[in-house]
Structure 1
């Protein structure tokens, strides 16, 4: 018979054969002492999402497992690594110091054709967490409420499904990003369009989404959706770039900048590839708010 004691006040359990310490220096005051007993350096100086996993017998003769992250995500990743190491009832002594070389690691679901089912997305988010991926961007082309019918609010049942995805992403330390693609019908010169964008983002914010993308990919960068845009911005790819920057800047100013918890706004330009300069890319570089991150493939 095995007895497991869960202690929240960090008080050691007398007579315990094995003590598991979970939490970094900001989460668990006992972790530092446990690492010292094992002769292992902590995660205090590590980058975000870094962690230390240590298993062994301490200098005091007690067996310990220590999962210490630079932050909550790091501790979570330490647990994922421990899960991979455990086979049966035995675990060899080990010390792992690990941190990511890439800030963002994940998947954008933005392909054409039938998209993933709701259950598949939930399973994907669990898989991302187990394998230390930290980013999922929701951009299925067959969701009409984020592309062809982007101005319309989501029906309650659709919004509830997205909310479940957002919660599952948070449980797995995955940032849930939401992409709105208004380019097929947007009227850049109309203030009501920026208001419609932020209204849609507001509905997602209420679900817990903190990462947003305004995308202008897969549209014609030499046509307007209304005569007022031509009069306001001119003609040609550079004019379209100026209009897109104008709209993204409005979202940045009225929605992102006033929410400290928001991640930086991302913008997918119509020209999102290559390394050569064009009239379009020069205008984007000139007009776009420097706080906005531009997505780029560079192929």
Structure 2
């Protein structure tokens, strides 16, 4: 087992939108040594990062990586994080959002690794009775993505109760802060704005919880050594509801030549944002206010060229 002062952490999906930033953060952290495991790992590693090219479904290679690097913690970032994409390709969603979880849990069981951090989603809640939701709300997902993430949560709970795992499940709300990799509403709209194209808004009055990427990364790092409860997830959000219309208007104030085109909402104009009490009390994390973080991110994107905005690393 790794020395307690330098816990070795396996990050599956270490090239993805959030995973790559977790890897970078842990690479600068003396307490944790990150091991990035991905089909297409980064070309160059920062800090003390170890990079392994591998498939999460290759149990032999995955177990070898865990044993060779004396892994004591896992952050499982492999997934298909797109509501429309999962609705269009439900089999791919199940494979990446559920089967990959089973694969990493089995590897952990065989290799005697107990601690895992898993990114779930606010989509497990579905349409709630009120806009602000806490972790005690009964999940009622209405999308393939939300259903599969909830299934993964239940799988993790089953392994925790059966094999003594120490899981932390983080239910992420709308993460923003990476213009190139993020597929959320803010970055999609900003890429259009940088290119001088209209921003399309479906509905506009519905409230969403937008949480800055760097705050999400902090929550993952804190979860590596935090309190674990297999029965309760932790919301990761800002705790503030911001309307989609407000986001579009923030962007067009910085890009005055860009138009906003309004369409009917896809699934009704329901609102949802996080009660972040557990995030504060359990993890000690306080998120950046959207009124500060979103305008700052928009300003950072103003100096990006249209070609850079459209590029996908």
* TM-score, scaled relative to structure 2: 0.35
* Greater C-alpha Rg: 1
Length-normalised TM-score, structure 1: 0.36
